[in-house]
Amino acid sequence: MTVTDDTLRRILTTTKVIALVGWSPNPDRPSHQVGGFLSRMGYRVIPVNPGQTGVVVAGEVVRAALSDITEPVDMVDIFRRSEEVGPVVTQALALPGLQTIWMQLGVINEAAAAQARAAGLTVVMDRCPAIDYPRLIGAAQLSPGPAV
For every residue of 3-16, DSSP letters joined together read: PPHHHHHHHHHH--
* DSSP H helical ranges for the chain: 5-14, 30-40, 85-92, 110-118, 129-136
> What's the full length of the chain, in residues?
148
pTM for the whole structure: 0.92
pLDDT in tens, the chain (148 residues): 689 999 999 999 999 999 999 999 999 999 999 999 999 999 999 999 999 999 999 889 999 999 999 999 999 999 999 999 999 999 999 999 999 999 999 999 999 999 999 999 999 999 999 999 999 998 654 444 444 5
* Protein fold of 5-136: Rossmann fold (3.40.50)
In angstroms, rounded to a whole number, what is the distance separating the alpha carbons of residues 146 and 69? 23
Please name the helix (run of DSSP H) or strand (run of DSSP E) that holds residue 77, with its range, or none. Answer: strand 75-78
Domain segments of the chain as ranges = 5-136
